[in-house]
Amino acid sequence: MSSSYRLVTRPAKYLLRQPCVFCQSRQFITSINRNGASKLSNSLNGTANPPRAIAQRRNYAAQKLDVQRLRTDVDARARLGFYTLSKQQGTIKMEPHTADSIYKDFLAQKNKMDHGSNIQRLTTKYQLAMDDLTGLAMITFKIPDLSDPSKRAQLPPSQHKTSSGLLLQGCAQAEEPLAIVHILTAVYLSGSSSDAFAKDIARLFPQSEIDKYRKTLDMLVINPTSIGLGPDALTLKGLFLEKEGQKQKAKDLYQAAIQCSHLKFAPGSRHPMQLPLITPWNALGYLLKADKDPNLQAQAKKYFEKGALEADDPLSCYELAACEPKTSTKWLQYTSKAAASGHRQAIVNLTNFYQELAAKDSPILADSTMRKALNWLLGWRRGSVAAIAREWLQVASNIGHKPSMLQLADHYESAGDHERAKEHLRQMLEPPSAANQNEEWPQLVQLAKRRLAGIR
């Protein structure tokens, strides 16, 4: 039995991951909420250690100083905790206390010299590579704040994101490639997608600085093989040119990026905090697919095929599957690969496939090749196809697909499990996971509310 068919029987195992540094960070933020934030609440309410009469006589300046000190304390604990988690997961190379010392050292000197000189000074003082400081800046941006909005409102804003921007500015002014690529990726995504995270990063940099980074990017692509991020630099410049309407130049850059790309993933080749950037074969595939010339459109498949077969790229697999009839084994193979890697629409498509397959006299089985490929599943045990369809439906629900949540609610209600049905209906009421993202299925949310209220 081919491994490409076996993979579809174990979707949950492919999609489960070890908790990342962001998820694990909740534990020390919870600690800050319990300890530092409780001190904050007590202090502002006049119930801290000093006698009430003394606390009431504090003037505005003293109160302001108190909340600033509390903010400094909360930030210091969050920063060290997050640096510690990052060190444990290998996203930062230096020791946590060294990282914290560098952060404070940079801020102490930021008004005495330009940011680029400040970064150069730190690399010499701490004997570090400059991309280590870029990594520190990217990690600092991700340090979570107090989760309770009412407690956050009592404090001045955290300066972690602003300080991260200054650190990145310094690295970019020193022409460090990772900083240039990371910042300009954020700039590109902020203007071409709804990525709130990228928009937050891009807002940290004035246009005058961005213009300088674009010139540095132009220099980086002259000799792309001299830097590890050469393919990313070429792809990024191509994306900007494509956006500006210079499609032939963009095409040339994508092809150059493909030629110097490592098609197979190499651990450590990208910083884990680096913003995701489309691969050059997919960028070129989409450029050709969108062209009005049918001959160029036909060429797109070649690049998606390259990404799927040589780079094992899930997005390429999804696009390559779209070039095949749904009743073909190739469609199933490519869609299964994309779905197992977490591609949302591929997950939904695969769910629909198994639901159709579970139906009596499914037309999918009219193809003898497909029937042969699925014979192991069809002859396994009664109801196995429906079980796999439901498993994929659960995966779709887990990634926020609310139509799948509703289907699961209907399934459990028909089975008499009303509590699990309500659980999925309540899940439908949750807001989108990404900040500033509009609700994709507002009518389904209203339906879930009515059903939970007992209204059909």
- pLDDT of 34 reads 47
Within a domain: 399:
no
pLDDT band at 433 (very low <50, low <70, confident <90, very high): confident
pLDDT value for 364: 87
Is residue 366 in a domain?
no
Residue 23 has pLDDT above 80, yes or no: no
pLDDT at site 180 = 98
Instruction: Note whether 224 and 156 are same-domain residues.
Output: no
**Confidence check: pLDDT of 48 > 60:** no
- What is the pLDDT confidence band of residue 250, given thresholds at 50, 70 and 90? very high
The verdict on residue 374 lying in a domain is no
Instruction: Examine the domain organization and report whether 77 and 205 are in the same domain.
Output: no
Name the token pair of 178.
């990772």
Helices (H), 221-293: 230-243, 247-259, 280-289
Is the per-residue pLDDT at 216 higher than 90? yes
- Portion of the chain with pLDDT greater than 90, in percent: 70
107-140 pLDDT per residue, tens:
999 999 999 999 999 999 999 999 999 999 999 9
Mean predicted lDDT score pLDDT of the chain: 86
387-431 pLDDT, tens digit per residue, is 999 999 999 999 999 999 999 999 999 999 999 999 999 999 998
pLDDT attached to residue 24? 46
List CB contacts of 198: < 8 A, sequence separation 6 or more: 185, 186, 189, 190, 275
Looking at the structure, tell me whether residues 263 and 188 fall in a common domain: yes
- Of 268, 290, 312, the position where a domain reaches its end is 312
Instruction: Choose the final residue of a domain: 258, 279, 312.
Output: 312
Percent of the chain with pLDDT over 70: 84
Closest to 143 (Cα-Cα) out of 157, 127, 132: 157
pLDDT, residue 38, reads 45
Given 174, 203, 234, which residue is the final one in a domain? 174
Does 158 lie in the same domain as 200?
Answer: no
Residues 166 and 218 in one domain: no
Distance CA 164, CA 224 (A): 27
**Which string of b and e fits 369-404 if b means at least 16 CB within 10 Å?**
ebeebbeebeeeeeebbebbbbbbbbbbbeebbbeb
Tens of pLDDT, residue by residue over 255-271, are 999 999 988 777 767 88
Rounded Cα–Cα distance for residues 80 and 83 (Å): 5
Residue 261 within a domain: yes
pLDDT-based confidence at residue 63 (cuts at 50, 70, 90): low
Instruction: Residue 4: name the closest of 348, 335, 311 by CA.
Output: 335
The span from the CA of 101 to the CA of 22, in Å, is 22
Q: Are residues 63 and 91 in the same domain?
A: yes
Q: Is residue 167 part of a domain?
A: yes
Q: For the ranges 241-250, 264-273, 280-289, 442-451, which has the lowest average pLDDT?
A: 264-273
**Residue 10: predicted pLDDT:** 36
Q: With cut-offs at 50, 70 and 90, classify the pLDDT of residue 203.
A: very high
Q: How high is the pLDDT of residue 265?
A: 74
56 or 140: which leads in pLDDT:
140
322 burial level (CB within 10 Å; 0-12, 13-18, 19+): middle
Considering the domain boundaries, does residue 214 fall inside one?
A: yes
Domain shared by 242 and 141, yes or no: no
Same domain, 39 and 164: yes
Q: Within 13 Å, how many C-alpha atoms sit on residue 90's CB side?
A: 5
Is a pLDDT exceeding 70 seen at residue 166? yes
Q: Residue 43: pLDDT above 70?
A: no
Phi, psi of 246 (to 5 degrees): -95, 70
Burial of residue 283, with CB atoms counted within 10 A of its CB: 0-12 exposed, 13-18 middle, 19 or more buried: buried
Residue 436 pLDDT level (bands cut at 50, 70, 90): low
d(CA 238, CA 368): 44
Question: Could you tell me if residue 456 is inside a domain?
Answer: no
Residue pLDDT, tens place only, 340-363: 999 999 999 999 999 999 988 888
Q: Confidence band (pLDDT; 50, 70, 90) for 78? A: very high
Supply the pLDDT for residue 9: 35
Query: How many Å separate Cα 280 from the centre of its chain?
Result: 19
Total residue length of the chain: 456
Does position 4 have pLDDT exceeding 80, yes or no?
Answer: no
Q: Residue 360: what pLDDT? A: 82
Please give the average per-residue pLDDT across 233-237, as a whole number.
98
Indicate left, alpha or beta for 177 from its phi (over 0: left) and psi (-120 to 50: alpha): alpha
169 and 191 fall within a common domain: no
Together in a domain, 160 and 42: yes
pLDDT band at residue 215 using 50, 70 and 90 as cut-offs: very high
Residue 18 has a pLDDT of: 44
Q: Are residues 193 and 136 in the same domain?
A: no
Q: Which of 207, 201, 160 is nearest to 183 (CA)?
A: 201
- By residue range, what is the domain housing residue 89? 35-174
Least confident among 73-82, 242-251, 327-336, 371-380: 371-380
Task: For residue 107, give Cα distances in angstroms to 77, 94, 102, 155, 385.
Answer: 17, 18, 9, 20, 60
* pLDDT confidence band for 59 (50 / 70 / 90): low
Q: Provide the number of structural domains found in the chain.
A: 2
* Residue recorded with tokens 């309500």: 422
Which of 46-50, 77-81, 324-328 is the least confident region?
A: 46-50
The answer, yes or no, to whether residue 187 has pLDDT greater than 80, is yes
pLDDT value at 194 more than 90 = no
Residue 41's pLDDT is 46
The verdict on residue 2 lying in a domain is: no
Residues 157 and 62 in one domain: yes
